[in-house]
Amino acid sequence: MKTTLFCLSLLFCGSAFAGELEDAHALFAKKDYAQAMKLYTKLANGGNAEAQQALGQMYWYGEAGQVDEAKAEALFKKSAAKGNKVAIASLELMDQRVKRRKDIDYWIKGYDGEDLKSGEFRCTAPRIPAMSKINADIDRIGAAVTSWQECYNKFVTNLNASTPLTKRIPADIAKLMTKDETEKSTAYLTQLQSNLTEEAKVGSQMVLADFAAWRTATETYVAEHNAMVKSSSDAKKLK
């Protein structure tokens, strides 16, 4: 009889733990992280592998209040020791973070967007003189500005297509980032996008301003020159 009562007691306890785990999952789904954490902590301290893994995830992503990789790793190890596959995968991911630290940091503070303005997207501003007096120079300057404008438009199209720049982070690197690192990377790349846009905008305005001044001066010269030639020609006809 005692044996039977003991087994029923274990069954009852297991059922109770299962109910609390489901409650914790439900609270987490509702983003009630404080209450979810209380239940997960209670269950994790009681040796529940799934709760240990879930609590570790909360510390990993900062849903426990702040990111704490040390606590997350300790919980993952306890859960993994009981065969929890998610915890085992999480430990492997943490190992990859150590090995690929430089790659992660590159997208947080190292990437400079050089690939977005190099090669076919490197649009060197044409040298525009104050004024041109001969047709060959006029044609050359006009062609140079047209070529620059085509390159600039291609650059702008590619830059816009690359927005947001977080899309350029390789998937195998993005999955290694913590919530805090993802936020830092997003802020850094957003500012970089803004800088690249402003740099291109200012550069294009300078080229267009120089071209407008050149065209006005050149057209004025051509008009005056043609008028002078016509006047000289008319004078010769009168003689």
Domain boundaries, the chain: 2-99, 105-238
Phi then psi for residue 133, to 5 deg, are -115, -15
**Contact 52/36 with Cβ under 8 angstroms?**
no
Q: Does residue 180 surpass a pLDDT of 90?
A: no
Both structure tokens of 135: 């047709």
pLDDT over 90 (residue 42): yes
Provide CATH code, domain 2-99: 1.25.40.10
Instruction: Give the C-alpha separation, 158 to 221, whole Å.
Output: 39
Cα separation, 131 vs 137, in Å, equals: 9
Report the mean per-residue pLDDT for the chain: 88
| 164: preceding bond cis by omega (within 30 degrees) | yes
pLDDT at 234: 57
Cα 226 to its chain centre, rounded Å, is 56
